[in-house]
Amino acid sequence: MDLDLDPATLGFQAEVRSWLAAHVPSELPSLDTADGFEAHRAWERTLFDERLSVVSWPAEYGGRDASLLQWLVFEEEYYAAGAPARVSQNGIFLLAPTLFAHGTPEQCARLLPAMASAEEVWAQAWSEPEAGSDLAAIRASAAKTDGGWLLSGQKTWSSRAAFADRGFGLFRTSGERHRGLTYFMFSLRAPGVTVRPIAQLDGEPGFAEIFLDDVFVPDEDVIGAVDNGWQVAMSTASNERGLSLRSPGRFLATAGRLVRLWQALPDPALRDRVVDAWIGAQAYRLYTFGTVARLAEGGSLGAESSVNKLFWSELDIAMHETALELLGGEGEADGPWLDGYVFSLAGPIYAGTNEIQRNVVAERILGLPR
């Protein structure tokens, strides 16, 4: 693809850069606290009012009809400006692409505007105590009733669930392992839902358990066909692993900070690792540009998204480890590099463990035996 940005994209880049420079808050409380969650929700509303919360979406849902390339440019500018974490990420980056691909026009019109403005923040409710990377082992069930379904069971490690408004996930509607799953959306405030926050090492509830006891969900909150949830979920997983959840802007910003740290604390022994980190971030950017070009020509995300997930999760750890070594003992004190390092360690686990991703690469891309 042509890596020279066209005039329209350059103009969009300049507009975004200028607006972020004038509006990015200096600091917000942690989004894993009640006050911080609402502060981040308010920031999302500020983005929405400027039509910057979901730039690549159709205008009718709050977007700008921007191209995927312009979305990548926005992400680069967003992270370069040090803007806050996206409290709406589960909805706008994971559920929304699934709705665009598998949802009905009614579902899109009803759900996407509130998602874009953060009026409704979504929790991802996939994992269960006995079904993590082996998602097909899900036991939480959905039983048909008049006008809808009754959901029962337990979800765990549900990101954003402690303070979110709604959730989405897979539930078993028949006995078949893969073919018996259906994709549901549900309110976290509905009768029969109990949300139990999970405290992290810092005491903040970044995740929660969700218990459902005959929770009614209307038929219009099923995405795709009944018993076809596995196929629908794979589009969500592809976006989580391969494009939207971890855009290149995030790693370009981290690599830039690492280079500046090395310039302030030069250590010849770590020079090559700093250079490798910068090259890795640039390589990921170029790879993602290629993905965007393929999607623009009608392609889709597939098993190759697992390669992407392996790359960015291991790159993230390597960059933060290098930074902590540069800082020496100072790096053991609380600070952005230590916080980032602790979070990076989760990268090989969420969005499907890296062990599972290597199996996907081996079997579905390289054609190796199971």
Same domain, 248 and 153: no
Same domain, 205 and 136: yes
Domain C-terminal end among 87, 102, 133: 87
Same domain, 209 and 254: no
| Structure tokens given for 35 | 């006050």
Q: Give the number of domains in the chain.
A: 3
Same domain, 143 and 223: yes
**The pTM is what?**
0.89
**pLDDT, position 246:** 76
Spatial distance between the Cα atoms of 243 and 288, rounded to a whole number of angstroms: 7
Of 45, 100, 22, 76, nearest to 286 (Cα)?
76
Domain C-terminal end among 171, 193, 227: 227
Q: Is residue 114 a part of any domain in this protein? A: no
Spatial distance between the Cα atoms of 34 and 186, rounded to a whole number of angstroms: 21
Residues in the chain: 370
Q: Is residue 66 a part of any domain in this protein? A: yes
**pLDDT, position 266:** 96
Spatial distance between the Cα atoms of 116 and 53, rounded to a whole number of angstroms: 6
**pLDDT, position 243:** 58
Same domain, 199 and 280: no
Same domain, 156 and 76: no
Q: Is residue 98 a part of any domain in this protein? A: no
184, amino acid identity = F
Q: Do 332 and 339 meet the contact criterion of CB atoms below 8 Å apart?
A: no
Spatial distance between the Cα atoms of 176 and 174, rounded to a whole number of angstroms: 6
CATH number for the domain harbouring residue 158 = 2.40.110.10
CATH number for the domain harbouring residue 356 = 1.20.140.10
Q: Do 323 and 258 meet the contact criterion of CB atoms below 8 Å apart?
A: yes
**pLDDT, position 303:** 80
Tell me the pLDDT tens digit for each residue of 265-302: 999 999 999 999 999 999 999 988 888 888 878 877 77
The number of beta carbons lying within 10 Å of the beta carbon of residue 90 is 27
Spatial distance between the Cα atoms of 233 and 266, rounded to a whole number of angstroms: 46
Per DSSP bridges, beta strands 193-198 and 181-187 are unpaired
**pLDDT, position 294:** 83
Tell me the pLDDT tens digit for each residue of 123-137: 999 999 988 777 888
Q: Do 252 and 76 meet the contact criterion of CB atoms below 8 Å apart?
A: yes
Pick out the chain residues at pLDDT < 70.
1-2, 236-245
Same domain, 186 and 221: yes
Same domain, 244 and 221: no
Angle of CA points 26, 29, 33, to nearest 5°:
165
Same domain, 135 and 211: yes
For residue 307, the enclosing domain spans 237-365
Spatial distance between the Cα atoms of 262 and 215, rounded to a whole number of angstroms: 54
Same domain, 194 and 282: no
Q: Do 243 and 301 meet the contact criterion of CB atoms below 8 Å apart?
A: yes
**pLDDT, position 43:** 98
Domain C-terminal end among 164, 199, 227: 227
Computed over every residue of the chain, the mean pLDDT equals 92
Same domain, 342 and 285: yes
Same domain, 260 and 328: yes
Tell me the pLDDT tens digit for each residue of 219-232: 999 999 999 999 89
Q: What positions carry a catalytic annotation?
A: 240
- The three-state DSSP-derived secondary structure of the chain is CCCCCCHHHHHHHHHHHHHHHHHCCCCCCCCCCHHHHHHHHHHHHHHHHCCCCCCCCCHHHCCCCCCHHHHHHHHHHHHHCCCCCCCCHHHHHHHHHHHHHHCCHHHHHHHHHHHHCCCCCEEECCCECCECCCHHHCCCEEEEECCEEEEEEEEEEEECCCCCCEEEEEEECCCCCCCCEEEEEEECCCCCEEEEEECCCCCCCCEEEEEEEEEEEEHHHEECCCCCHHHHHHHHHHHHHHCCCCCHHHHHHHHHHHHHHHHHCCCHHHHHHHHHHHHHHHHHHHHHHHHHHHHHCCCCCCCCHHHHHHHHHHHHHHHHHHHHHHHHHHHHCCCHHHHHHHHHCCCCCCCCCHHHHHHHHHHHHCCCCC
Q: Do 99 and 107 meet the contact criterion of CB atoms below 8 Å apart?
A: yes
